[in-house]
Amino acid sequence: MRQASTVLVFATSGPALLEITGEVAEWLTGTGVGDGLLTLLCRHTSASLLITENASGAVRGDMLRWLDRMAPRDGRYAHDDEGADDMPAHLRSALTGVHLAIPVGGGRMQLGTWQGIFLAEHRDAPHRREVAAHVIGA
């Protein structure tokens, strides 16, 4: 049994779904783990992780617009310590989640054909985001 861990760092420039599949796959390849389980954790409360279609950019736009409707920036929240986008960002993170578990087989993530891993930035300003990665297997 072997395991490896790291923290991957990504720069964001405002609300977006940033595909990070390639960076995660590159790190995974370097671990030498062939079969096992990969876990990812977004180390923030105003950003999140999700798996969704990576073939059409329209999916990302639709997802962001849906999140805008679910957690609008309309000032109705008591928690606004860091601005009007603060609480909506926390809600969006809660809706989409901060943790992923992905099976690994043959040294590759067992994602479906059209699936990609995305870091969702929910704040308006640019940020430096960290994703903790851990893989265990043989």
Predicted TM-score (pTM) of this structure: 0.96
Q: Which domains does the chain have, with CATH numbers?
A: 2-137 (2.60.120.460)
DSSP string computed for 34-83: -SEEEEEEE--SSEEEEEEE-S-HHHHHHHHHHHHHHS--SS--S--TT-
Q: How many CA atoms lie within 13 A of 3 on its CB side?
A: 8
Query: pLDDT value at position 45?
Result: 97
Q: How many CA atoms lie within 13 A of 10 on its CB side?
A: 27
Residue ranges for the chain with pLDDT beneath 50? none
In contact, 73 and 94? CB cutoff 8 Å? no
Query: pLDDT value at position 42?
Result: 98
Query: pLDDT value at position 57?
Result: 93
Query: pLDDT value at position 75?
Result: 78
